[in-house]
Chains A and B, each alone.
Chain A
Amino acid sequence: MNKRVAITGMGIISSIGNSVEENFQSLKSGKIGISTIENLETIHKEVIKVGEIKLTNQQLAQKLNLSEDNNFSRTTLLGAIAVCEAIENANISNINDCRSGFISATSVGGMDLNEKYFYEYFKDESTRRFLNSHDAGDSSHQIADYIGLKGMVTTVSTACSSAANAIMLGCRLIQSGQLDRVIVGGTDALAKFTINGFKTLMILSDTYNTPFDNDRKGLNLGEAAAFLVLESDEIVQKNNKKVLAYVSGFGNANDAFHQTASSENGEGAFLAMQKAFKLANLQPEDIDYINAHGTATPNNDLSEGRAILRIFKDSVPDFSSTKAFTGHTLAAAAAIEAVYSVLALQHNLVFQNMNFKKPMEEFNLIPQTTLKEKNINHVLSNSFGFGGNCSTVLFSKSK
């Protein structure tokens, strides 16, 4: 890659914590965030487990000092909270003091409101302030307005790889000199729409998800938001900024196999990783930790495992999926895992793959099942989505 891109701030809210520090503590102590649904009405309440953030929309709105009659969806609320932490972490006092952009990612935007008021809009005028919530870009605009950002705002939606792709676009806009600073990431709240959608695909587990385990039964859906502040070298130098880590490479490829399933040999994932290495000018042996996509569906873990073996051959580095902690947070997944990748670099830790018992019979791949301390210079993070979308981002230590 012609220029590495500096990460100078990050923020997160997930089912294992409302801040970077809380998430880090949960990862270290092995505290998972999978539970029974409390904040959403659904008939599947008793039969599925989810990674739910145990704060009501009202409590989230209070954190943001919003008035009672605000029109933020849960997706927007979560996003705004994570963005604010990232900005504070990056020590930014004026978001518009250089060419700043905001690139969010979401799969369903304000679907939580849209499904609630789908028929109510026509009966109850008081619900009409939420009329825009089906529009995925609307949540990005609300967050941009909330932080007062005037500049380029856009939204990526490539299903479960969305946030990785938001990170990529952000990097490319900085590398090409179009922006000096860009806040990138993703946000997705649990919604009946998504729960029922994944239910019809029969890939939801009825218990705690078990990534890379032979007896894995499927995924737990989750909700989360996470954002990174990316800044150009010029801004970093000018403001003497502390760099948390660098984005050193990335790649996106299409599996071109099936709308919702991954190919057996993980072709798309293989190509995405290959591209990322080429761009970063790094070799597979440079990677110290893989934060895998690892959704714990039979299909993903087999396909991803095969792709990892194709890239790393006999020397697969320590790897784990953190989805046993958070559930699969869809368009936010790659963003929260970007935060975890940076934490791994900062603290020289491999986070454990929880709930793993039995190796998959198809290959000899054993994830790291305990917290492991070691020197980490480069982390590879994978994210794959519907539509054959495969993304890899490489993070490297700030030296």
Chain B
Amino acid sequence: MKKSYINGIGCISAQKTVDSNFLSEIEINTTETVLNAKQPSYTEVISPSFIRRMAKGVKMGIFTSTQALKEANLEVPDAIITGTGLGCLEDSEKFLKAILDNNEQFLTPTSFIQSTHNTVAGQIALGLQCKGYNFTYVNGAVSFETALLDAKLQIESDEANSVLVGGIDETAQHNIDVQRIAGKIKKQEDVPFSVLNPTSKGMILSEGASFFVLENQQKESSYATLEAISILNSLEVDEVQGYVKTFLSDNKINPNDIDLVVLGNNGDVEFDVYFNQVSDLFNTTSQAYYKHLSGEFYTASGFGLWMASNILKLQTIPADVKMNSVEKGNYQTVLLYNQYRGKDHSLTLIKKC
């Protein structure tokens, strides 16, 4: 069975993750309830006449996938697989509003076309003239992990030598308003927010895109190998430790072999208890978190994998992402755990190569 190497990465997020050394210019938010991704200048990769017409998700996807391919020194991948919780949300809302506000008249197709969940994967394929396997998953907080699992299967089964895999989500106003009345976004009155020591319910909503090139061979640019992924729809809090233990034993990993645990805490006092379970299980292991930097969105775990991959490559954990003071050095094996509101649990295991 072939191994999957992460050979190139691109990331757009609420942090400066483009044209910057790894997390060297961190901005920590404690007051905003919604964070926008820092949009790069797209002119290098997208022709100016397209930039204005393209959905934000498509632009972020094209930019980060271009970066990932460039780093891996790959022109056209054998397969393109994306995950997105909500797709190109701005266009969906725009089309829906136009339908409702004009009583189903005077509509144009552009925003309808862009609203389709697989628009980003389709547009990347079109741009690269990539006629290979092209999939899009839309399942909440495991949208990206399903894409990753699929990519790994493609490589293991020799269906593809290289896979471009990514997660994309964008914010849009109606969805923000809806999530606010649903109580899923933190209330302004609860400032200051702390992800590590939460006192209030809800999350800080954000957006972003992260793309990875997985290949069946190691390159100079390699970050890590993708060893295993598991996805589960729902768990009770007291089932989490069992889930982690089973996953590790299924993959013949001793818990002591884990050098770093990366957790998806988002500062929601109601649901971060899930993460505490894993944190407790690894209390003598280095732990890191990232959603205080990326904010929460359905494919935020892509930012988590971007961070974990960089830590393995650079062999250093930035102080701002440390969850505890355990310092081992020589990071070989990283376990990532994520869930959202008790649903869509995922475990991802990567190793230094």
The complex places the Cα of A353 from the Cα of B67 at a distance, in Å, of 48
A146 on interface, CB distance cutoff 8 Å? no
- Asked whether, in the complex, the Cβ of A138 is within 8 Å of the Cβ of B99, the reply is no
B156 on interface, CB distance cutoff 8 Å? yes
B49 on interface, CB distance cutoff 8 Å? no
A387 on interface, CB distance cutoff 8 Å? yes
A44 on interface, CB distance cutoff 8 Å? yes
The complex places the Cα of A254 from the Cα of B233 at a distance, in Å, of 30
Assess A137 versus B138: contact at CB under 8 Å? Given A115-B96, A169-B150: yes
Interface positions, chain B 296-346, Cβ under 8 Å from A, are 343-344
Residues on B facing A (Cβ under 8 Å): 80, 85-87, 92, 95-97, 99-100, 103-105, 107-109, 112-113, 115-119, 121-123, 125-126, 128-140, 142-143, 146, 150, 153, 156-157, 174-175, 177-178, 181-182, 230-234, 343-344
The complex places the Cα of A118 from the Cα of B174 at a distance, in Å, of 8
Assess A386 versus B116: contact at CB under 8 Å? Given A42-B104, A169-B150, A176-B157: yes
Interface positions, chain A 351-398, Cβ under 8 Å from B, are 385-389
Write the nearest CB–CB distance from A188 to chain B, whole angstroms: 12
- Asked whether, in the complex, the Cβ of A144 is within 8 Å of the Cβ of B233, the reply is yes
- Asked whether, in the complex, the Cβ of A172 is within 8 Å of the Cβ of B104, the reply is no
A299 on interface, CB distance cutoff 8 Å? no
The complex places the Cα of A153 from the Cα of B174 at a distance, in Å, of 27
Q: How many residues of A contact B (CB 8 A)?
A: 66
Interface string of A284-305 (1 = CB under 8 A from B): 0000000000000000000000
Q: Give every chain B residue within 8 A of A173 (Cβ-Cβ).
A: 153
A259 on interface, CB distance cutoff 8 Å? yes
Write the nearest CB–CB distance from A76 to chain B, whole angstroms: 14
- Asked whether, in the complex, the Cβ of B118 is within 8 Å of the Cβ of A159, the reply is yes
Q: Give every chain B residue within 8 A of A118 (Cβ-Cβ).
A: 96-97, 100, 174
A321 on interface, CB distance cutoff 8 Å? no
- Asked whether, in the complex, the Cβ of B100 is within 8 Å of the Cβ of A151, the reply is no
Assess A201 versus B112: contact at CB under 8 Å? Given A119-B100, A157-B138: yes
Question: In the complex, given contacts A122-B177, A157-B117, what are 13 additional A-B residue pairs having Cβ atoms less than 8 angstroms apart?
Answer: A114-B96, A131-B178, A136-B138, A149-B233, A150-B233, A151-B233, A154-B231, A157-B87, A157-B116, A173-B153, A197-B95, A253-B133, A259-B123
Assess A165 versus B233: contact at CB under 8 Å? Given A42-B104, A131-B181, A259-B126: no
- Asked whether, in the complex, the Cβ of A151 is within 8 Å of the Cβ of B181, the reply is no
Which of B128, B146, B231, B343 contacts A141, CB < 8 Å? B343
Residues on A facing B (Cβ under 8 Å): 42-44, 102, 106-107, 109, 114-115, 118-119, 121-122, 128, 131-132, 134-138, 140-141, 144-145, 149-159, 165, 169, 172-173, 175-176, 192-193, 196-197, 199-201, 252-260, 267-268, 271, 385-389
For B80, B96, B119, the residue with the greatest tally of chain A CB atoms inside 10 Å of its CB is: B96
Assess A259 versus B139: contact at CB under 8 Å? Given A115-B99, A172-B157: no
* Number of interchain pairs (Cβ within 8 Å): 191
Assess A257 versus B100: contact at CB under 8 Å? Given A150-B233, A389-B118: no
Assess A158 versus B136: contact at CB under 8 Å? Given A128-B181, A253-B131, A387-B119: yes
Assess A201 versus B122: contact at CB under 8 Å? Given A131-B182, A137-B85: no
Q: Give every chain B residue within 8 A of A135 (Cβ-Cβ).
A: 85-86, 140
Which of A102, A149, A151, A193 contacts B96, CB < 8 Å? A193
The complex places the Cα of A150 from the Cα of B235 at a distance, in Å, of 8
Assess A115 versus B232: contact at CB under 8 Å? Given A157-B137, A257-B126, A260-B113: no
The complex places the Cα of A128 from the Cα of B118 at a distance, in Å, of 28
Q: Give every chain B residue within 8 A of A267 (Cβ-Cβ).
A: 131
A385 to chain B: closest residue by CB: B118
- Asked whether, in the complex, the Cβ of B117 is within 8 Å of the Cβ of A43, the reply is no
The complex places the Cα of A341 from the Cα of B138 at a distance, in Å, of 27
- Asked whether, in the complex, the Cβ of B131 is within 8 Å of the Cβ of A255, the reply is yes
Q: Give every chain B residue within 8 A of A253 (Cβ-Cβ).
A: 131-134
- Asked whether, in the complex, the Cβ of B95 is within 8 Å of the Cβ of A386, the reply is no
Write the nearest CB–CB distance from A163 to chain B, whole angstroms: 13
Q: Which 4 pairs across A and B sit closest by C-beta, in order of nearness?
A: A387-B122, A197-B112, A153-B233, A157-B117
The complex places the Cα of A144 from the Cα of B344 at a distance, in Å, of 12
Which of B109, B118, B131 contacts A201, CB < 8 Å? B109
Which of B97, B112, B116, B150 contacts A387, CB < 8 Å? B116
- Asked whether, in the complex, the Cβ of B131 is within 8 Å of the Cβ of A271, the reply is yes
